[in-house]
Chains A and B, each alone.
Chain A
């Protein structure tokens, strides 16, 4: 029998022992392949080149994903070898030479790695196909994303995993040289060395976290160059990971020791069991916590960005086109034709219908403003208030005859301070009106048309102006359920044409934005899912392998009279600790990263991201909770049947 045969037989004979490790391998390969196939998809590559945000996210993701894959496999591998040390010791006792044993383990690892790689790529190909179908459905995208099996993706996956498999195989080869025979025989029993709680590492960890937060949160430089993004945020991520690891190492030990010190609590009920179990695997736990915290943070960020984009589109469309339909009055016949089209759409009854008279005059400000204010568009105070009311807005203005208010021009960053206390003069053939600017209000009244500079004046002043300059009258309609007004919007678009730079109807503006964003959203959503799968699988497999290892312990507990209910409770508590602690840190990290993303994105789409981010975070917590329940159930089924 050759060595190769022995290795092969070994695997076949012990397949149940191997299966968990094998599944972990396949899972990480599937996740990685899915990511890479996304990266190599042609449409997506074009898109990535266009957007720096996307570029950055892809870079950060591939970095974190490789880290995840490597740590996850090394972790599973070390667990797997730990279980097999006794067997290896036995071979040595039976007189097999060290070299032979080493080579056997090497081959075994290699064979398993290759089989896993093939299976992983096949599953990955299927899964990415499925994912893309689901996501395209969700996005309502016309974007055609083809996820054929890309040769580059396969090559890259094979390359990355070859390195990892080779590394674990060499580790396997060295196993017999690294340990004394006696250590191999006692491998399973030993607990992990409890790391010393060192103040230095705790402080260092916190300091590193602070530094990375600062790097992420500091204001953007004048010009956001690619190098700056790569250097600054790349560094931030590395520091964040190291800081988190140090933090968990010290924080978990400290926390557990603190809980153990309170004997009254510790020696009561099952606390003893839970705390000692957690302490038993302390350094493994700290490592996993770090990874889970980072993965959760990344997942939250991607979900936030995706949902933010989705949500941002609607509010941006509303801001750009304001009413469901708007058009310039072109005489009785034309106006009533439009009105009848809108009225005939019975599914979308009219909620509000207004005439907005606008006087266009040349304006002049008492200070230099980097914006075109000729023509300045003038509306009356009551017009503005009517619009506010029709659209359920908060802003209302009350002006004296010598006062005016400015509506914040869209896509600008001006604040009240810019205009307050300044003067505006409006030129008419009859002379100039000098008005003092009382304040700046938000809330445009008409679809965007450059220059977007509106001044609100007192009703009295407006009618004086209207006598000298013929006002343009805009007709606007707000209808129910404006997101579905496809047919009517298309008809009106033909009729009304280019009254504004944006579309005359909310629907078309909304739809267009949705389609334009779809690909970006798709990518972000996809990345979010990839990381969610990574996070979930990480905890799930960790707990699963530990459950198998802990089975005898729970049998003993059963024998000495711990009921099934108590054991289930105890499992729930331990799992909660494993899930909860990294989640807390992950949420904090995630918020910081989200804050950064929202600044990047609001540059792009100009939307307030707070609500979408919060929603994304809650969504993540809910899914994460699902994983928690799944893990508790599986764990319980293994040890408490």
Chain B
């Protein structure tokens, strides 16, 4: 399997003189194609910073990041935009849908930006809409649908252009357990059947238990790593809880 993400000694320091805060402290990370990887850790551990750096939204202070064979640190603004459009898909906690566009238009936006042929574009949208079960709301506006529907719309948008890497920032954070389960099942099947590579930040052990591998971060450093292997999801879930208990914090999120 080819390597999709290769990050070495990634460091991110906030603040200036006298008030320095190290959000990421020499993190190494490798994700291979088709993997579904979770990143966990207590609040302030640097999960979101890591994701933002990988998403090219934020710049690391030092280190090296290669995504799908391209180093993202040497690119200029325009190249980064094109890179985000072509190689990355995002699912954010607060959906980030455009209220001016219908669900369908929101989903097809990345394809329109890539100037795809209109027939192929329609076909792709129908495919992902089927996958996420949102055919019936395609013509509605984001303010007319529920949170779960919004998140599935956001997920559809993230995968519609078949990106090399899908990044999720607490994608289940604002969802009820049914919607969360639906979304996680969809992501899992994407990774298993379509070989989509997914990297997801979460503080929810239940959500994390859908991953194949989980990285735990504490104080900007890699704390430990869990691999699901042949465990059942339930067993994996309990292992996650154990690690979280050891980490301190975070476990209180799960009842």
Residues of A within 8 A of B (CB): 186, 189-191, 263-264, 267-273, 276-277, 279-280, 553, 556-566
Contacts and interface: CB of A to CB of B under 8 A. Distances in A.
Contact of B78 (A272, A553, A557, A565): A565
Given A263-B118, A553-B98, A563-B82, A189 B143 contact: yes
19 contacts: A186-B143, A189-B143, A267-B118, A268-B115, A269-B113, A271-B112, A272-B105, A272-B108, A279-B100, A280-B100, A556-B97, A558-B81, A559-B92, A560-B90, A560-B109, A560-B110, A561-B82, A561-B83, A562-B113
Contacts of B88: 561
A566 to B, nearest CB: 7
Contacts of B77: 563-564
B141 interface: yes
Contact of A276 (B84, B97, B101, B111): B101
Given A191-B141, A559-B57, A563-B78, A280 B99 contact: yes
B86 interface: yes
Contacts of B188: none
A564 B113 contact: no
B147 to A, nearest CB: 13
A556 B95 CA distance: 10
Interface in B67-102: 77-78, 81-86, 88, 90, 92, 96-101
Contacts of B7: none
Contacts of B203: none
Contacts of A556: 96-98
Contact of A264 (B81, B100, B118): B118
Main secondary structure of the interface of A (DSSP, over half): helix
B85 A268 contact: no
Interface of B: 55, 57, 77-78, 81-86, 88, 90, 92, 96-101, 105, 108-113, 115, 118, 121-122, 141-143, 157
A270 B113 contact: yes
B100 A268 contact: no
A276 B104 CA distance: 13
A277 B100 contact: yes
Contacts of B100: 191, 273, 276-277, 279-280, 553
A57 B23 CA distance: 67
Contact of B118 (A190, A268, A563): A268
A562 B118 CA distance: 19
Contact of A562 (B85, B92, B99, B105): B85
Contacts of A264: 118
Nearest to A567: B81
A268 B57 contact: no
A560 B118 contact: no
A190 B143 contact: yes
A190 B140 CA distance: 12
A561 to B, nearest CB: 3
B96 A559 contact: yes
Nearest to A260: B105
A557 B85 CA distance: 10
Nearest to B92: A559
Contacts of B57: 559
Nearest to A190: B143
A559 B95 CA distance: 12
Nearest to B101: A276
A271 B83 CA distance: 21
A563 B111 CA distance: 15
A438 to B, nearest CB: 71
4 shortest interchain CB distances as A-B pairs: A561-B85, A563-B81, A561-B84, A189-B143
A269 B114 CA distance: 7
Contacts of A564: 77-78, 81
Contacts of B98: 273, 276, 553, 556-557
B96 to A, nearest CB: 5
Interface centre among B78, B118, B121 (most CB of A within 10 A): B118
A264 B77 CA distance: 28
Nearest to A188: B99
A267 B96 contact: no
B86 A267 contact: no
Nearest to A554: B98
A270 B110 CA distance: 10
A560 B85 contact: yes
A162 B121 CA distance: 56
Interface centre among B86, B112, B113, B122 (most CB of A within 10 A): B113
Nearest to A263: B118
A272 B143 contact: no
A270 B82 CA distance: 14
A559 B143 CA distance: 20
Contacts of B115: 268-269
A279 to B, nearest CB: 7
Contact of A560 (B84, B105, B121, B142): B84
A267 B112 contact: yes
A279 B143 CA distance: 16
A272 B110 contact: no
A288 to B, nearest CB: 17
Interface centre among A190, A553, A560 (most CB of B within 10 A): A560
A74 to B, nearest CB: 24
Nearest to B102: A276
Contact of B81 (A263, A269, A279, A561): A561
Contact of B112 (A186, A268, A559): A268
A641 B105 CA distance: 25
Contacts of B142: 189
Contacts of B82: 561, 563
B112 A272 contact: yes
Interface centre among B85, B101, B108 (most CB of A within 10 A): B101
Contacts of A566: 81, 113
Contacts of A280: 99-100
A168 B96 CA distance: 34
Contacts of A562: 81, 85, 113
Contacts of B113: 269-270, 560-562, 566
B81 A267 contact: no
Contacts of B121: 267
Given A276-B100, A553-B98, A561-B86, A269 B78 contact: no
B157 A560 contact: yes
B130 to A, nearest CB: 19
A556 B98 CA distance: 8
Given A276-B100, A564-B77, 4 more contacts: A553-B99, A558-B81, A560-B110, A560-B157
